[in-house]
Structure 1
Amino acid sequence: MSAPARLTARGIVRHFGGVLAVDGVDLSVPPGRITALVGPNGAGKSTLFDCLSGALRPDAGRVILSGKDITGKNTAPKDIARLPDYRRARLGLARTFQQLSIFPGLTVAENVRIGAEARPGGTVRGLIGLPDPGPARAAAALATDRALRLAGLSALRDHPVSDLPTGTLRMVELARALAGTPRVLLLDEPAAGLDAAEAARLAAMLRALSAEGMALLLVEHDVDLVAELADTVCVMAAGRVVARGPAAAVLADPEVGALWGHA
């Protein structure tokens, strides 16, 4: 993996009409650590993810990746990211989605290869299905194979994704993100739809990535998984971060438990 990176949000604000979904959020996602973002439904967690990844443009605030402001100039239409998500991916920022984002007409390996083409050094030709130059093609193949191994999907590489169960598709989506060789990975409810064995494999994989120096931010409703994985927990409610700190201390707070529905 390339040099570690830190993702920082400063004063992120996002409205939807008259609704304030994210209200001045500051957040730091350091390298080599797992940060969890928790809170009740409607707290603004996924909207914040969209602002960080480039899927949405914040109305105010900055997104900073390793000291570089990646929010860019405020010249795009309101609902378009200032620095689009595909460009952020090439800076080393990747994400998965709460709702599965899979290309159903492709095989497992073809889905993962799309992530490899979006990595730093990938090519637009590869993304649109045209032949790559030899070195770029070889690098994409290596990145794809590594991601398939990490996700335990090598045996399914040529299998169509259209008839795979939800848990396996979650791992395909994660492998696609990893194929882009990110330095920062945002995971929106990565354990949704996983059985116990798949969740255990996911936890082991995320711990290994963190140990390699990757910065990870996850939204997750599974309190046991958060307690097992997270170094730091940030709690959101009504668009704001209302608590943050070491996972054990935050999760033991009865006010957090009541807010999150786990009292």
Structure 2
Amino acid sequence: MKRFDFAGKTVLVTGASMGIGAEFARRLSRRGATVVLVARSEAKLEALAAALGNAHVLPADLTAPGAPQRLFEAVRAKGLEVDVLVSNAGFGLHGGFDVLPLKDQLEQIDLNVHALVELTHVFLPMLERRQGGVIHVASMAAYQPTPYMAVYGATKAFVLSFSEALWAEYRERGVRVLALSPGATDTPFFERSGEGASPGRKARPEDVVEVGLEAFIAGRSSVVHGLGNRLAAFANRFFSRELSAKVIARMTRPKTPALPAT
């Protein structure tokens, strides 16, 4: 598979209003791509689009039933053909499984898994026709059990497995599929999940995005950002999942126990 050039391509980025998604939009724009910005906050998207110039804004709540199909139809209504889909929208929550509201935990599944799968399904025929591909943003949480972020970690394990499987299915058809797994990154993610979800130092989003773009260009199936994270992902092969779960639990256990939500 030859290297991919983003110049002149159209890339749709979900979760584009901030953090890694916004950085994807900036760096893709610099590489000569037209970007389609998707998130709930129309005002933030409009501000980013104004700064970029070569951008379209399509506000959407991807957790709403049927939202991915409506987004696809909105793209077609604008007369656009998408070459690459960057599924970055997602969130995580830190806390005990019995403490975090069930509604919020199910919303993680809706956005991190359901919307991602549906978006991939509706756009894949177009991506194959354009000989482009998909970048799914997974996480280091995909590589081991994640106590106190149990649902989030499980959704990202799904994203990693799903992406690698599609990579094998579609590579001979000229479609790239990449799972990008960052560790803790300096973004507004932790405003919702809580700082307890990040026991260590945070990476810069621009570094994460560059690693992802270069891996996509090279046709890789997955990539982990950061040497320490890559070593940790590799080391997990040599330890039982029980031991990994115990270690992560000690690192991420909430400092102040909370009462179950009623």
TM-score, structure 2 normalization: 0.30
Query: Which is richer in strand?
Result: 1
Greater RCO structure (CA 8 Å; 6+ sep): 1
Which of the pair is proportionally richer in helix? 2
TM-score, structure 1 normalization: 0.29
